[in-house]
Amino acid sequence: MTTKPRVKKFRIRRGIAPEDAADQTVAAPTDDDTDTSATMDAIGHEGLTGRQLRMARRVAHKHGLTVTSDFDAVHQLRLAGINPFQRNSVLELVTPDGSIAKGSGMQLPQPMLKPGTNLPSTNRNSPADRRSAEIILIQRDIASRRRRKLALLFTRLSFFVFLPTFLVGWYFATMATPMFATKSEIVIQQAETAGAAGLGGLFQGTSMATQQDSIAVQSYLASREAMLRLNDDHGFKAHFSDPDIDAIQRLPENASNEAAFKLYSNHVRISYDPSEGILRMEVIAVDPAKSQAFSEALISYAEEQVDQLTSRLRADQMQGARDSYEASEARRATALAQWLAIQEEVQQIDPVGETTARTQQISKLGSERQRLELILQSRLNVQRPSEVQVQALRDQMANIDALIASMRSDMTSGTGTRTSLAARNTELRAAEENYTFQTVLVQQALTQMEAAQIEANRQVRYLSQSVKPIAPDEATYPRPFENTLLAFLIFSGIYLMISLTSSILREQVSS
């Protein structure tokens, strides 16, 4: 029974690499000794790796044993009472001076030693002890480096984070001057009118109707103009230039308007809530009474600003309607004067009545002529009519015709100095119609003026105080704990950002 099939079985079960399998040469056991063959088979079934078999052969060569195979080396070492896989057995292959032990069968390059240097080693420690000592030294070095890095980190944190935070907390707790804050809330309302329709009526009575005015008032109260008015009326600069205030919060004497406005922005805080349409204002001062006075003054400035926002619009609307009404009244008065002048000139008041009377007269004269013509016809029907009567009737009829012609001539055509009745009636009617038309225009202008008055009243804005300013009885600022915590977070964030930036830069430079 050869060992080659056994080697293949061992390679499949243990996963020996091809190069390891190629290095090992396994000799077949002698056929004379049956016990030895059984022992070899048992060693082959132990599942030893190629590295362990090579190690057993080197140990056997070290002890001067003659072996025919790796399995034979394991067998002979076990017969001699030597464990070929013990750590000490493997380490003893190398002598302390680095040379290979005699009888190992291995020839390695030997160092060139100077004369007198080939002396016995005084180091009696085993390689395992030396390795353990080196590991302990490495661990101690790592621990010392960690301690140094932690100490350096703590130093940096103390210098850049803890010390500034302590200084900020000490300032707010002991040095900062107490400040008093007066809070108030104001609302800008619009006058509501009955019968509002269209898109304008959708937002009427809501905060959307006065949002633009509220934002304008907020901008005005946070402007330099409001600060200058407050300084002129209540001495804003002088109040914050008091020597009793700490140096950080105190405004320098003869400070510029820019420095005062910066302090004003920090001590007058105004916010607007668009969902509710409320302007919230917080005024901070050293004295609570002064804080309340500042707040009331700013509210009065806001009321003036609200009135000013709509006064020009209301004035323009009313002025236009008023001018139109006055012009209509003037034109109506002129038309009435012209109508009166024409009546006085023609000495006629009612052109329609005059024309009707003339027409009735002409009709009556025509009826009289027809009557006389019938009488004349009856007189002429007799055999011997009276010439005198006939001529009298004819003269009356001629007079009637002349009178009718004269009256018609007066109605349709005029003389050299007198206009016709039709022309006078036309002038009177034109003047009357002009006066009537101007009267209608006056009524329309009056209606427009009333509508403008209603619209102007609707444009009026009112500022009401939902929360009136009341002076506090305790200091509102500073808040030592909150301010110290905020300072710690700020310094920590700055340190973290700088550390990350420097680490990234070092990595980029070293790569």
Q: Tokens 């009636």 sit at which residue?
A: 425
In the Cβ-directed half-sphere of 187, how many Cα atoms lie within 13 Å?
16
- Note the residue count of the chain: 511
Beta bridge mates, 271: 280
Cis peptide before 478 (omega within 30 of 0): yes
Evaluate whether 362 touches 400 at the Cβ level (below 8 Å). no
Q: Which residue has the tokens 């004295």?
A: 287
Q: How far apart are CA 433 and CA 352, in angstroms?
A: 13
For 245, residues 6+ apart whose C-beta sits below 8 A from its C-beta are 177, 251, 286
| Helix pair angle (421-458, 387-412), 10° resolution | 30
| Closest by CA position to 358, among listed 442, 424, 429 | 424
pLDDT at 114: 52
pLDDT, position 5: 40
CA distance 351 to 191: 53
Domain coordinates of the chain in residue numbers? Answer: 4-91, 133-176+478-511, 326-458
In sequence order, what are the residues at sequence separation of 6 or more whose Cβ sits closer than 8 angstroms to the Cβ of residue 190?
A: 204, 205, 209, 210, 458, 459, 460, 461, 462
> Are the CB atoms for 90 and 59 separated by under 8 Å?
yes
* Residue 292 pLDDT: 94
Integer Cα distance of 23 and 21 in angstroms: 5
Rounded Cα–Cα distance for residues 341 and 431 (Å): 10
Residue 74's nearest CA partner among 61, 60, 63 is 60
Give 24's contacts (C-beta < 8 A, 6+ positions apart).
7, 50, 53, 54, 70
Structure tokens at 243: 């020597």
Helices (H) and strands (E) in the chain, counts: 18, 4
**Cβ pair 178, 479 in contact under 8 A:** no
- State how far the alpha carbon of 397 is from the alpha carbons of 16, 120, 382, 384, 391, in Å: 165, 188, 20, 21, 10
Spatial separation of the C-alpha atoms in residues 110 and 91, rounded to whole Å: 19
Contact criterion met (CB below 8 Å) for 441 and 331: yes
Partners of 190 in the β-ladder: 461
Residues 6+ apart with CB under 8 A from 211: 274, 277
pLDDT at 414: 55
Instruction: Answer for the pair 429, 348: CB distance below 8 angstroms, yes or no.
Output: no
- 266 token code pair: 């920090």
Q: What is the dihedral of CA 172, 175, 178, 181, to 10 degrees?
A: -40
In the sheet that 180-190 helps form, which strands lie side by side, from edge to edge?
268-273, 278-285, 180-190, 461-467
Distance CA 261, CA 289 (A): 21
The enclosing H or E element of 320 equals helix 288-346
Q: Tell me which amino acid residue 93 is.
A: L
- Indicate the pairing of strand 461-467 with strand 180-190: antiparallel
Question: What is the pLDDT at residue 212?
Answer: 85
Q: What is the pLDDT of residue 511?
A: 67
Residues of the chain with pLDDT under 50: 1-32, 90-91, 93-110, 113, 194-203
According to DSSP, the residues that pair with 181 across neighbouring strands are 284
Strands 461-467 and 278-285: unpaired
Strand 268-273 relative to strand 278-285, pairing:
antiparallel
pLDDT one-digit tens code per residue, 259-276: 999 999 999 999 998 888
